[in-house]
Amino acid sequence: MDGKNKDEYHVKDIRSDQIYWFDGADPRASDAATVRLLLSMIDSVIQHFKGRLPPYDISGRSRVGVYF
């Protein structure tokens, strides 16, 4: 590995994907209509089950990781 850090070697030479953390309010995602629709559907499911699955308290979701 020519003195490179093991993690640095893998990131540069093996991984070619890019990770983007997405939430519906992010202006960079204005063209991602399908992802926005999916997030809207997930939000609807969360709201539907809020308070209906004891002992769990579903109050929301975290941002979504989109991998390219």
Query: For residues 64 and 39, what is the distance between their CA atoms, to the nearest angstrom?
Result: 8
14 part of a folded domain: yes
Pick from 23-27, 41-45, 58-62 the range whose average pLDDT is largest: 41-45
pLDDT at residue 15, rounded to an integer: 63
How many domains is the chain built from?
A: 1
Kindly report, residue by residue over 8-40, the tens digit of the pLDDT. Answer: 544 455 567 777 776 667 676 677 788 778 888
Full-model pTM: 0.51
Domain span holding position 63:
7-67
pLDDT at residue 3, rounded to an integer: 53
2 part of a folded domain: no
1 part of a folded domain: no
pLDDT at residue 13, rounded to an integer: 57
Least confident of 12-16, 54-58, 64-68: 12-16
